[in-house]
Chain A
Amino acid sequence: MIPGPFDYQVASSVAEAIALLDQHGADAKVLAGGHSLIPLLRFRLASPAVLVDINRLRDLEYLQEADGTLHIGALTREVDLEASDLIRRRYPILADTARVIADPVVRNWATIGGNLAHADPANDHPATMLALGAQLVATGPAGQRLIPVEQFFTDSSFETTLQPNELLTEIRIPAPAERSGGAYLKLERKVGDYAIAGVAAYVALDGAGQVTYAGIGLTNVGPTPIKARAAEQLLLGSTLDDAVIVQAAKQAAAEARPVSDLRGPADYKRAMVETLTMRALRQARSRATGGA
């Protein structure tokens, strides 16, 4: 299978990438790691007139903590997230997520920004970013704007609120509070497959052990990545005991919108969301209280 014809342009700076996107508008697609886009081109499910290759923008590959925020360059490869000491030590939920994306060869090239901007409900980072309350930096001709992740995805699959002339350039995650932690769990048929279901959970506790922040994101159980808001509400103010975890897990399953497909019947996927939410919350609690 060979892609349809297109023009190819290499961006040598972020400004050049944006100028190209501004020039070509909706006819252009950004080529980052390409592990979603190139298969789409090959199946002729996408036929953009122009590809803007951003792979040479090394200044978009970075991981750094500054001013209470983790800044991740949008072109950071999954392998670098997975291997980073900073990520493993301070943001284990991100390492959990990166290491279950596709397979190790794909992760050498695939990027965190592409995983988010492709807005595939089966991709893994969206749920984790929803749980973490991330902010995304969109850079366009007029400069940068910050988009809270819950406003980045729309009600449609494969759609974001990025404008055609904007590039996702950075992901910002609040540095972990003292008693906070999270986990991402993915049930998959085999390495390299999309999730049957995936759950990201993140919690912060106060000195008395009460939940001051709760985030739950769901992967591949609906037309978009899902933020399980009612389940989060149940957790707030609780002491995150087993009873409330069970209750929140049931609620998260109720907020999932799975359909029956080759990965299983909808009821099964809903049951898996419940189980995975329980496990993710328990692991989040363990990490928030100093465990692994």
Chain B
Amino acid sequence: MSIHHIRVTINGKLYEGDVEARTLLVHWLRDGLRLTGTHIGCDTSSCGACTILVDGKAVKSCTMLAVQADGRELLTVEGLEQNGKLHPLQEGFHVEHALQCGYCTPGMMMAALALLKRNPDPSEQEIREGISGNLCRCTGYVNIVKAIQYAAQKLREPEQVPAGSGGGGE
């Protein structure tokens, strides 16, 4: 059994540590680094609760070894907020009431972030496809789609808050 020293940039900060080869990335994030915003849902890469970005691409962190992240740049849900200001996606999930129990929310937002980076103005269908690897058992997805639309508009036109939004997060 091999042990590896890894150096990983997470949310702009360099983390180092020794990991067993078999340590899953999500376990290192949560148990090793106490970055517990990333959730573990199904354990089998089906539910997407553990979705993070690795080198800009959404990845299910339960299906990657921690050692595979060596030298890479990660973004987890903790990295969305900047200087005490919510990311437009977080704001959208708040304003549009896109969560109930909240378990899927971190993974959902990270999958949505990857989608919006690739496609800043997605149709509803494209949003639904983009989050189709992330399961929510509470909301029925309707408000999640609205929240991502909110964020998409806010990211495209930062000055214009969507009508009727109540300007949440300001």
Contact = CB atoms under 8 A, between A and B. Distances in A.
B58 A105 contact: yes
12 contacts: A2-B27, A4-B22, A6-B1, A9-B2, A34-B65, A104-B111, A104-B130, A105-B114, A106-B45, A106-B63, A108-B114, A109-B60
Contacts of B109: none
Given A3-B22, A6-B21, A8-B65, A192 B132 contact: yes
A103 B68 contact: no
A191 B125 CA distance: 14
A7 B129 CA distance: 37
Given A5-B21, A7-B21, A191-B132, 13 more contacts: A2-B22, A5-B1, A6-B1, A7-B1, A8-B67, A31-B68, A34-B68, A38-B63, A39-B45, A104-B111, A106-B60, A108-B57, A109-B57
Interface of B: 1-2, 4, 20-22, 24, 27, 43-46, 48, 51, 57-60, 63-65, 67-68, 111, 114-115, 129-130, 132-134
B43 A102 contact: no
Nearest to A33: B63
Interface residues of A, number: 29
A179 B170 CA distance: 59
A210 interface: no
Interface in A215-236: none
B48 A34 contact: no
Interface string A101-140: 0111110110000000000000000000000000000000
A9 B45 CA distance: 23
Q: Is the contact region of chain B dominated by helix, strand, or loop, or is it mixed?
A: mixed
Interface of A: 1-9, 31, 34-35, 38-39, 41-42, 51, 53, 55, 79, 102-106, 108-109, 191-192
A108 B59 contact: yes
Given A8-B2, A38-B65, A109 B59 contact: yes
A170 B45 CA distance: 26
Contacts of A108: 57-59, 114
Contacts of A39: 44-45, 63
A49 to B, nearest CB: 9
B132 A104 contact: yes
A36 to B, nearest CB: 9
Contact of B22 (A6, A34, A106, A192): A6
A35 B68 CA distance: 13
Contacts of B134: 105
A41 B22 CA distance: 9
A192 B46 CA distance: 7
